[in-house]
Amino acid sequence: MEQTPLAACPTCGKTDAKKITYTWWGGALGPRMMNHVKCNNCGTGYNSKTGKSNTTAIVIYMVVIIVVFAILGAILQGM
């Protein structure tokens, strides 16, 4: 399986990064959905396809998860 090249780190410009498999904000699914990697040179987390920060996407992801769980909780309370 051929590995696609990574976008350069937005902080230091290096392309040496490690795929993140689990985070506190997204568990195992979030980092995969956002192509999240961590630069081996400076430690910055970023999107491996765009080379940009995932901060905005992470915030949106967290808000959606909170809303979904709030709705599910309300539905279960009404049962």
* Domain assignment of residue 23, yes or no: yes
What are the backbone dihedrals phi and psi of residue 71, each rounded to the nearest 5 degrees, phi first? Answer: -65, -45
pLDDT digits (tens, 9 = 90+) for 3-60: 678 999 999 999 999 999 999 999 999 999 999 999 999 999 999 999 999 999 999 9
SS3 assignment, position 61: helix
Does 10 reside within a domain? no
Radius of gyration of the chain (CA): 16
Residue 34 lies in a domain: yes
Q: What is the pTM of this model?
A: 0.79
Range of the domain at 37: 17-77
Is residue 67 included in any domain, yes or no?
A: yes
Helix (H, G, I), strand (E, B) or coil at 48: coil
Q: Would you say residue 2 has pLDDT above 60?
A: no
Q: Is residue 5 part of a domain?
A: no
56 domain residue, yes or no = yes
Is residue 49 domain-resident?
A: yes
As for how many domains the chain has, the answer is 1
* pLDDT band at 64; cut points 50, 70, 90: very high
